[in-house]
Structure 1
Amino acid sequence: MTQVEVLQLLVSPAHRLAGRPSDGPSPGPPDERVTRVEVRRGLGLVGDRYYARPAHRNAAVTLMAAESLPAGADLRHTRRNILLQGVDVDSLVGATISLDCGTGLVVFEVKRPARPCAWMDVTIGPGAQRALRGRGGVRCTPLSDGVLTLGPATFRVVAGADDGS
């Protein structure tokens, strides 16, 4: 087990990065960052744009390492859902992980990398897409219901990646 910090949570009801990056993000709430989020098995984050969407069910939640995020950027810029400090999430593709913020275990299957797109050069700054290659976070499937909150959390690789399986 590893102690980590949940620094940010983002639940976005609308897909704000659609169309051409040169047109800029679509309008939306001024801040979609939240202090608490409900996770539903196989569905995603309650209230998020990908919640219960068949095309996104196997990758409805995205995690990103704070250590990969460029200075001055946050989840509003990357459109990832969970920002963790203290763990290299990009190395965990294929693993099953758990996160406990003190409200009980929430289990995720890490499916694939969340590749940065051209929007990163608009929302973060020129060169961000290239800088985030291999460090853009991971797309996950929630395997349990639960609640995540900001603050300290216990992180564990349940299967795969670091456990030798």
Structure 2
Amino acid sequence: MTEVEVLQLLVSPAHRLAGRPSDGPSPGPSDERVTRVEVRSGLGLVGDRYYARPAHRNAAVTIMAAENLPAGADLRHTRRNILLRGVDIDACVGATISLDCGTGPLVFAVKRPARPCAWMDVTMGPGAQRALRGRGGVRCIPLSDGVLTLGPATFRIVAGADAAS
């Protein structure tokens, strides 16, 4: 088990980074970060744009390591859902992980990398897409129901990628 910190949670009801990056983000709330989010097995984060969407059931939740973000950037810039400090989440592709904020463990299957796109150069600045290659976070499927909150949490690899270490 590893002690981590959930720094930010983002639940976005609308897909604001659609179309051409040169057109800029679509209008929406100035801050979609929340302090608490409900997670549903196989469906995602309640209230998020990808919740229960068939095309995104294998990637309904995205997790990113804070250590990979440039100074001044946050989840509003990356459109990832969960920002963790204290774990190399990008090394967990193929693993099943557990994250417990004190409300009980939530289990996620880490399916694939969340590759940065051209929008990163718009939201964070030129060169961000290239700088985040291989460090853009991961796309997951929630395997259990529960609640995530900001603050200290325990992280554990349940199966797969380095489960023995």
TM-score normalized with structure 2 length? 0.99
Give runs of ≥4 in structure 1 deviating > 3 Å.
none
Aligned residue in 1 for 2:45? 45
User: Match of 1:59, as an amino acid?
Assistant: A
Aligned residue in 2 for 1:102? 102
Query: Does 2:150 correspond to 1:150?
Result: yes
Aligned residue in 1 for 2:112? 112
Aligned residue in 1 for 2:35? 35
State the Cα deviation string for residues 50-69 of structure 1 (Å, max 9, x = none). Answer: 00000000110000000001
State the Cα deviation string for residues 4-53 of structure 1 (Å, max 9, x = none). Answer: 00000000000000010011000001100000000000000000000000
User: Match of 2:86, as an amino acid?
Assistant: G
**Offset of 1:162 from its aligned partner?**
1.4
Size of the aligned set, in residue pairs, is 165
**Offset of 1:164 from its aligned partner?**
4.1
User: Match of 2:147, as an amino acid?
Assistant: V
Question: 1:10-159 maps to which residues of 2 (within 5 A)?
Answer: 10-159=10-159
User: Match of 1:74, as an amino acid?
Assistant: D
Gapped regions of structure 1 (runs ≥ 5): none
What is the rounded CA distance, in whole Å, between the counterparts of 2:151 and 2:96 in structure 1?
Answer: 22
What is the rounded CA distance, in whole Å, between the counterparts of 2:96 and 2:25 in structure 1?
Answer: 33
Aligned residue in 2 for 1:7? 7
What is the rounded CA distance, in whole Å, between the counterparts of 2:65 and 2:25 in structure 1?
Answer: 23
Identity %: 90
What is the rounded CA distance, in whole Å, between the counterparts of 1:146 and 1:107 in structure 2?
Answer: 9
User: Match of 1:18, as an amino acid?
Assistant: A
